[in-house]
Amino acid sequence: MIAGIDHFVLTVRSVEATCDFYRRVLGMRRLDQPNRPTALLFGSQKINLHQVGRTFEPKARTPTPGSGDFCLVSAVPLAEIQAGLAAEGVAIEVGPVERVGAQGAMMSVYFRDPDDNLVEVSEYLK
Protein backbone atom coordinates (compact mmCIF):
# COMPACT_ATOMS: atom_id res chain seq x y z
CA MET A 1 0.00 0.00 0.00
CA ILE A 2 2.92 2.39 0.64
CA ALA A 3 5.27 3.21 -2.26
CA GLY A 4 7.95 5.31 -0.56
CA ILE A 5 8.80 8.29 1.59
CA ASP A 6 8.07 11.80 0.33
CA HIS A 7 9.46 13.79 3.25
CA PHE A 8 10.08 13.79 6.96
CA VAL A 9 10.35 16.63 9.49
CA LEU A 10 13.27 17.58 11.71
CA THR A 11 12.79 19.95 14.61
CA VAL A 12 15.93 22.08 14.80
CA ARG A 13 17.43 24.79 16.97
CA SER A 14 18.45 26.87 13.94
CA VAL A 15 17.09 26.54 10.42
CA GLU A 16 20.06 28.56 9.13
CA ALA A 17 22.69 26.30 10.75
CA THR A 18 20.88 23.15 9.63
CA CYS A 19 20.53 24.35 6.02
CA ASP A 20 24.18 25.37 5.92
CA PHE A 21 25.31 21.97 7.27
CA TYR A 22 23.24 19.83 4.87
CA ARG A 23 24.17 22.04 1.91
CA ARG A 24 27.91 21.94 2.63
CA VAL A 25 28.17 18.34 3.79
CA LEU A 26 25.61 16.51 1.62
CA GLY A 27 24.87 18.92 -1.23
CA MET A 28 21.17 19.39 -0.41
CA ARG A 29 19.29 22.40 -1.77
CA ARG A 30 17.29 24.80 0.37
CA LEU A 31 13.69 25.68 -0.54
CA ASP A 32 11.85 28.59 1.09
CA GLN A 33 8.19 29.23 0.27
CA PRO A 34 5.71 31.62 1.91
CA ASN A 35 3.77 30.06 4.80
CA ARG A 36 5.57 26.73 4.39
CA PRO A 37 8.41 25.22 6.38
CA THR A 38 11.90 25.60 4.96
CA ALA A 39 12.84 22.38 3.18
CA LEU A 40 16.03 20.59 2.18
CA LEU A 41 15.72 18.96 -1.24
CA PHE A 42 17.62 15.87 -2.40
CA GLY A 43 16.75 13.28 -5.04
CA SER A 44 12.94 13.18 -5.19
CA GLN A 45 12.53 13.67 -1.43
CA LYS A 46 12.79 16.46 1.09
CA ILE A 47 13.30 17.19 4.75
CA ASN A 48 11.00 19.86 6.20
CA LEU A 49 12.56 21.90 8.99
CA HIS A 50 10.62 23.17 11.99
CA GLN A 51 12.51 25.56 14.24
CA VAL A 52 11.87 25.10 17.96
CA GLY A 53 9.10 27.46 18.99
CA ARG A 54 8.05 28.06 15.37
CA THR A 55 6.64 24.71 14.31
CA PHE A 56 3.87 24.14 11.78
CA GLU A 57 0.63 22.28 12.45
CA PRO A 58 0.07 19.43 12.64
CA LYS A 59 3.30 18.27 14.25
CA ALA A 60 4.76 15.52 16.37
CA ARG A 61 3.41 15.44 19.91
CA THR A 62 6.80 16.30 21.42
CA PRO A 63 9.01 17.89 18.76
CA THR A 64 12.58 17.86 20.05
CA PRO A 65 15.85 18.80 18.37
CA GLY A 66 18.28 15.90 18.17
CA SER A 67 15.72 13.10 18.25
CA GLY A 68 16.15 12.17 14.56
CA ASP A 69 17.83 8.94 13.48
CA PHE A 70 17.58 8.24 9.75
CA CYS A 71 19.35 6.67 6.79
CA LEU A 72 20.00 8.38 3.44
CA VAL A 73 21.10 6.48 0.33
CA SER A 74 24.10 8.01 -1.41
CA ALA A 75 24.06 8.88 -5.11
CA VAL A 76 27.89 8.71 -5.19
CA PRO A 77 30.38 6.15 -3.88
CA LEU A 78 30.54 6.11 -0.08
CA ALA A 79 34.24 7.03 -0.28
CA GLU A 80 33.19 10.43 -1.71
CA ILE A 81 30.84 10.96 1.22
CA GLN A 82 33.64 10.08 3.65
CA ALA A 83 36.02 12.48 1.91
CA GLY A 84 33.43 15.26 2.02
CA LEU A 85 32.79 14.68 5.72
CA ALA A 86 36.52 14.82 6.43
CA ALA A 87 36.92 18.01 4.37
CA GLU A 88 34.13 19.67 6.38
CA GLY A 89 35.52 18.46 9.73
CA VAL A 90 32.54 16.20 10.43
CA ALA A 91 33.52 13.22 12.59
CA ILE A 92 32.32 9.78 11.56
CA GLU A 93 30.99 8.05 14.68
CA VAL A 94 30.68 4.58 13.16
CA GLY A 95 31.77 3.11 9.89
CA PRO A 96 32.10 2.28 7.27
CA VAL A 97 30.19 -0.75 8.46
CA GLU A 98 27.97 -3.28 6.68
CA ARG A 99 24.24 -2.99 7.36
CA VAL A 100 21.05 -4.36 5.83
CA GLY A 101 18.71 -1.78 4.34
CA ALA A 102 15.29 -2.04 2.80
CA GLN A 103 16.81 -3.31 -0.47
CA GLY A 104 19.62 -5.48 0.88
CA ALA A 105 23.24 -5.23 1.98
CA MET A 106 24.85 -1.81 2.20
CA MET A 107 27.87 -0.04 3.64
CA SER A 108 27.13 2.84 6.00
CA VAL A 109 28.77 5.70 7.85
CA TYR A 110 27.14 7.47 10.79
CA PHE A 111 27.65 11.08 11.92
CA ARG A 112 25.81 13.87 13.74
CA ASP A 113 24.23 17.05 12.39
CA PRO A 114 24.22 20.39 14.30
CA ASP A 115 21.31 19.21 16.51
CA ASP A 116 22.96 15.82 17.21
CA ASN A 117 20.53 13.91 15.01
CA LEU A 118 22.12 10.62 13.96
CA VAL A 119 22.58 10.63 10.18
CA GLU A 120 23.41 7.39 8.39
CA VAL A 121 24.56 7.60 4.77
CA SER A 122 24.68 4.31 2.90
CA GLU A 123 25.73 2.81 -0.40
CA TYR A 124 24.04 -0.41 -1.50
CA LEU A 125 26.44 -3.23 -2.27
CA LYS A 126 26.13 -4.69 -5.73
Question: For every one of its 126 residues, what pLDDT tens digit does the chain have, with 9 covering 90 and above?
Answer: 877 888 999 999 999 999 999 999 999 999 999 999 999 999 999 999 999 877 677 777 788 999 999 999 999 999 999 999 999 999 999 999 999 999 999 999 999 999 999 999 999 998
Amino acid at 68: G
Answer whether 108's CB lies under 8 Å from 95's CB.
Answer: yes
Q: Give the predicted TM-score (pTM) of the model.
A: 0.92
Cis omega (within 30 of 0) for bond into 96 = yes
What was the pLDDT predicted at 59? 78
Cα gap 86→52, rounded to integer Å: 29
Q: How many CB atoms lie within 10 A of CB 84?
A: 16
* Residue 120: active-site member: yes
Domains (range + CATH), the chain: 7-124 (3.10.180.10)
Which residues, other chains included, contact 105 with Cβ-Cβ below 8 Å and sequence gap of 6+?
Answer: 98, 99, 124, 125
Cα gap 74→83, rounded to integer Å: 13
Answer whether 99's CB lies under 8 Å from 49's CB.
Answer: no
Amino acid at 96: P
Cα gap 96→115, rounded to integer Å: 22
Choosing from 88, 98, 120, 123, the catalytic residue is 120
